[in-house]
Structure 1
Amino acid sequence: MIFVSQSNGKRPKLVLFSTRLVKPTPGATADDFQIYASYRGSSASGFFGTLKVVRKTDGKLLFPFDGAGSIGPFATKADAVAAALKHGDEVVQADLTRPEL
């Protein structure tokens, strides 16, 4: 969910997830998750996959988490993004099997 709030005549503040308390709700299917995959880096240092996995039923951020390793390096941008998507699918399947509540 994306919320935009207006406060005291200032510019709108973008809030990615509601600050209200939401009861933890496990996802039932892969459609209950959003995977954002991209890359960072350069051809000199190698390309690293970037990943964000969010459970849409309650807005819980499943990845990245503290201590999560990096995805890469890879020789091409496409390889880095493909590895990030694969890792995202693995996170989703793991949460479907054993939900993190």
Structure 2
Amino acid sequence: MYLCCAGRVPTLPGKVDIRIDRKRFEKPGIHLFQSCFEAGKSMYKPGLRLFAVTGTGDSLEEAREKCLEGLTGIRGKNILYQKDIGIRELGEKIPETV
């Protein structure tokens, strides 16, 4: 799943206020791909997409759960992600808000 800056219009590059629990991504099956770059204690974004978080497992459900666990390790202001990824394949109801 991609974590993005809130809003439909692509945002300009700049500083973002995000904290990452890096230990969360040391767990097997939870992966973080970062498009932001760090300079000192600050993090900067090149555009709208900030991170991609993926999960791997023996089933789609297990992979999705690991991905969602990884997402809880990223905190910040005005970031969002789609909550409907993998829902149809799992036979679940799509959330009304994404």
TM-score (norm 2): 0.32
Indicate the structure (1 or 2) with the bigger Cα radius of gyration.
1
Where relative contact order (Cα < 8 A, 6+ residues apart) is larger, the structure is 2
